[in-house]
Structure 1
Amino acid sequence: MTGPRVVLVGPPGAGKSTIGALLAERLGTGYRDTDADIERTAGKPIPEIFIDEGEPHFRALERQAVRAAVAEHPGVLALGGGAVMDPDTRALLKGLPVVFLDVELADAVRRVGLDKPRPLLAVNPRQRWRELMEARRPLYHEVARAVVATGGRTPGEVADAVLDALELPRPTTARDIPDTTQ
């Protein structure tokens, strides 16, 4: 198989960055976040891209970042929350090991506080998050090979659930090896 071993999608607050880095560590591979790629390419934070150039420009950068990452990155890849809105991106993800990290609003609020600069959540963030999820949830499901609910789980438990959902081996750690010295 070519392309990423795992692709994570989901809304803001789903834990894509945290879970992605943890999965990469457990799988012994690299981690890449397309939002970080966009910021590096643009030379500024995403909120500034929205303000200075607008959402259509941001989405064009996002499309390019996803295309490049899928082609180049063999490890764990996290996509920005709105990447699935683009039909070309959804087509590109077809057949890849995509996992939708499903999160409830209360958990998303707790995780990101909805106080960080998130351009699409600037006005009435809780209501806007619900509206975004209403529009995006079917698209997350469309691209996902598996759905992992994050509610009530630690990052380690979510990472384990992703590995199980994709039928990837869990790494052997010292705690998994029986103590034979006794």
Structure 2
Amino acid sequence: MTAGARPVVVLVGPPGAGKSTVAALLGEALGLEVRDTDSDVEAATGTAIADLFVTYGEDRFRALEAEAVATALAEHRGVLALGGGAVMRPATQEALRGHTVVFLDVGLAEAASRVGLSSSRPLLLGNVRSQMKGLLDSRRPTYEAVATHVVSTDGRTPSEVAEAVLILLA
């Protein structure tokens, strides 16, 4: 992509909010490339995120994630989905200023049921519902602070969520 390019929309939210799925639908509807920073980290390292957590720890993963987000924000002109914890770094919060950021909000019950017992989500191992509650409680204020728009995903299909986002972008 060209220097100075900016994402048309950046999706943020907790695990289970549907960021990757909605990003794909938005990309299709808008005729834009879709980029997911979790996928960028996996491609750069050749390692699955769950394995990065186990092998190198969360701090190393978060550093790689911050680099991936900064690069994507600088060069990607399309739909960008960030990993659930990416917004927790102050540098990422600052980098998101001036971008169109949509927080895909999800309630505890739906998030827990969507994520299930997924071993690919290392922060949610163990009691998924309890872990998810902790993540939602600690991250929601930051998601809200960086967002220019909030779209609830509860009780909606991914297509309905994408349509709501498209209306906001119009």
Give the TM bin, normalised by the shorter chain: over 0.9
Q: What's the offset of the Cα at 1:164?
A: 1.6
Q: Distance in 2 between matches of 1:30 and 1:10?
A: 20
Q: What's the offset of the Cα at 1:117?
A: 2.4
Report the secondary structure of 2:80's partner residue.
strand
Q: Name the Cα RMSD after superposition.
A: 1.2
Higher-Rg member (1/2): 1
Pick from 81, 84, 109: which aligns with 1:81?
A: 84
Instruction: Report the AA paired with residue 117 of structure 1.
Output: S
Q: Distance in 1 between matches of 2:5 and 2:48?
A: 30
2:43 is aligned to 40
Report the secondary structure of 1:69's partner residue.
helix
Q: Does 1:125 align with 2:128?
A: yes
Q: Does 1:113 align with 2:116?
A: yes
Q: Does 1:29 align with 2:32?
A: yes
Instruction: Report the AA paired with residue 118 of structure 1.
Output: R
**What TM-score does the superposition give when structure 2 sets the normalisation length?**
0.94
Pick from 12, 23, 33: which aligns with 1:20?
A: 23
Correspondence 1:1-182 to 2 at 5 A? 2-166=5-169, 168=170
- Please list every run of 5 or more consecutive structure 1 residues that lacks an aligned counterpart in the other structure: 169-182
Q: Distance in 2 between matches of 1:152 and 1:123?
A: 26
- Please list every run of 5 or more consecutive structure 2 residues that lacks an aligned counterpart in the other structure: none
| Count of aligned pairs between the two proteins | 167
Identity among equivalent positions (%) equals: 58
Q: What's the offset of the Cα at 1:109?
A: 2.4
**What TM-score does the superposition give when structure 1 sets the normalisation length?**
0.88
